[in-house]
Every structure is written in C-alpha cells, then in structure tokens.
Structure 1
Amino acid sequence: MPTEVALLESHALRVERMGRVDALDKVKSLVMLPDGIHVRTDDVARYFEVSTASVRRLTDRHQQELTDNGMRVLRGDDLRSFHGDMLSLWEGEVPESYPQAATQLRLYTRRTVLDVAMLLRDSDIARCVRTYLLDAEEDLRASIASLDQRVTRVEGCLVGVGSALQELGPVLSRMSHRLDVLDRKLDVTHQVVGAISLRLTDVSQDIVRLDARMDDFARHLKDLSRRGHS
C-alpha cells in the first residue's frame, strides 16, 4: 500500500486516485460557487486553512498537472461572461469577497481541489484527505481479500458438488433407462387396452343384433301359437 509521502511525490499515484473527489466532503465541506462546479483560489485556501499565497505558489509549481485536472484562468470576454452567469445564479446579495473587478480569475473544480490535497504538504486538512484516501483504499483491499476468500470457499463447495454429481451419474443413467422401459411398457399397455376397447365395441354391436333376432324369434313363436289355437 502506498504511503502519504509516496502520494505527495508520485504523479502516477495521484492520477490513480483522481476519481475519489468524495474524500473532500468526507473531511470538510467544500463551499462551491453558485454554479456548483467551481471554486476560486481564496475558496481553496479557506478549505485547506492555509494562506492564499500558499495555494498560488503550489499552483505555479504544478500548473500543468492542475490544468490537466480542471484548473483554468479566465480573462477578457470569458471572465465577463462567467461573472454574468454567477451574478444571475446568486440568490440574494453578492458577497463582498467576490472579485467582480478582477482582470483574471483562477478557477478550480473538485477534481483540481483533490489534486491540491495530494500536493499540499503544510495543511492538516490536506493531510486528513490523504489519510482518508489511503485508509479507504486499504479498506477496499481488505474487502476484496475477504471476497476472494469467500469465492475460494464457494469454489471448494462446487468441487464437492461436482464430485457428487459424477457419482450420481451412473445412478441417474440407470433410472433413465428404467423410465424408458416403463414408457415402452405403457405404450404397449395402451395399445392392448385400445384393442380390447375396439373388441368390446364389436361385441356390444353383436349383442344388439342378437337381441333383435331374439325379439323376431319370439314374435314368430307367438304367431305360430295363435295359428295353432285357431
């Protein structure tokens, strides 16, 4: 795990952590301009509880890195347009500290302020932000290690399940064969029952015809009996 000193000195380590802007508000509330995106040099100094001059010296030394992470300087028309936007967004009276008459304005985003926190040595707030970043990373590593252990245990259980399924394979195969035999026997039984049903239908028709012949024979006997009496 990297140390605080390594974070101060390694640009690559800072780049890896530039997405963790949530660390700023975990340590102290960062008051933004009305657009919710930018802060000024004075705001950055106020957040880290250092002088404005300290922040300016830092930004001069690391201008390219901070520019890559959102810092910019407004002048001329861009500055006038930005002032107009801010004044329209401000609710109530504009703070006296807002530099409307300035000829240039240096702006920082949350990402830039986080970069400053990883560069600024003489600030307890910046040190707390770095500590939070490193502790959060350590917690994440511990969580990942715990998850790896759980996955390993699950994989071990799955190996046991695989062995059990292999042992059950022959048993399931025999059961499947028996079920196939039963299915064939049931098919034969259905065929026999169907044939018997057809035969019973024929017998029923034969009985109906026999009943009709018996009725005819009985009527014939009655006729003969009447003729003999006459």
Structure 2
Amino acid sequence: MRDEYVFKDSVLERVKALPVLAGTLEVTVEMSANFYEVPVDTVKAILRRHRSEFNEYGETRVLRGGELAKLRCWVHDAPTMQKTSVLTLISRRGLLRIGMLLTESEVARSVRSYLLNVEQIASKEQRAWSMEREVSKRERRRLTDAVQAFGDGNPFVYANYTNLVYRVLFDTDAPGLRKLYGLDPDDNIRDAFSTEDLRNVVDVETAISSLLRLGYGYQEIRDELLGRSANFRRDAA
C-alpha cells in the first residue's frame, strides 16, 4: 500500500508548507522531523528499521566529502549541515513514506487520511473540502493543547472558546449553528461547513492559540477577536 501511494507526494504541500534545501527537492532528517512535528530520533529510527524499503526506491542518499561540500556552497543557513561530515537527504517520496510509517504524528495522520480517503472522491470541490477538514482537525488539537496548558481552569473553557470562534465568524454559537444547519445533537457541526468556512475556523483558532501562549485571558481574547471579526470573515456563510 505504501508503494502504491508513495508517488502522490504532492499531498505533502496540501497538508503543510514543505521546505526543501536550496538547489534540490530533498530534505534533511531534521527538516523531515520538523515537518511531521516529531523528534529527530524518531525519524532516524524509521529510516534505520526500514532502510531496505527506502533504498529500493532511492528515496534517501548519503552525502560525504566533495558532494557535501558542494551542497554547503548552496545552503548557508543550516548550521547543522556546516558541522557534519555525513548528511542524509530524503526525497519527497521518501518524506511521504515516512508519513505512512509514523504512528505518533498529527501531521502524518492527516497525510494518511488524505491519501486513503480523499483521493477516492471524484469531485474537486469535495477533495478541497476534505483536505481543509483534515487541516482543521490538526489545528483544533493545537487549540485544545493551548487551552489545557494556558487556560484559566474554567470547566467550560473549551466550549467558551469554541463558541467564540463561531461568534467571530457567524454571529452565533454552537446551538445556533445546529439550528441553522438542521443538525442532530450528535452531528459534528464542522462537517456542515464549506471549504471557506473551515479555512476561516482554522485562522481564528490559530489566533486564539497564539494569544493564549502570549498570556492573554479569555476576556482579552474575546474582545480582541470580536473587534477584528471582519478580518476573519472571507465569505463565511
């Protein structure tokens, strides 16, 4: 299954911005760890355990001596590269294969969900919606982590921030949206959103996460976002 999907490496950029080394289409082990938001040792372990699989398709290569010196001439902003005498580079296909092997990565889960589910949908609009849905799930996890780490301990804090997102974008709360879309209590509200709505939700949740980490309290965040609500509404329904 990995061999079947590994050629669809364009999915990587749909899930998250993908950095590459200047003059190549490759990434270092450190860059791949940053992309999937896991420790460097985790990526090294995957490459070691599945070495034959990566080698079979030429998805990694090791630079030494003159080849490494040549690459250093192109790339000046990677201190790790300047110090090492051996450097492992991973192709885009190799980076995608890592995502299919990782078990503890939200980014990797989004990549796999896209490959296994979204690619089977014929409609271009449905593919776009499904991709945004995967991204919104990951960003929602970031928000809940930020609330847990920096929130004020209010037992209703998660519901408060969720309703704040909806208030900023739609001038209503979760019950109001359920009524608007005719949803049952067990239905997920976000499944009713358009692609653009999902993008807007991600923007607001990202803003809340950032403000929480800067030490803002709920009331300050509420006042800040409601005062700037027009900036977040890009054709929100």
State TM-score, norm by structure 1.
0.50
Higher relative contact order (CA 8 A, sep 6+): 1
- Of structures 1 and 2, the larger Rg is shown by 1
Point out the structure with the larger helix share. 1
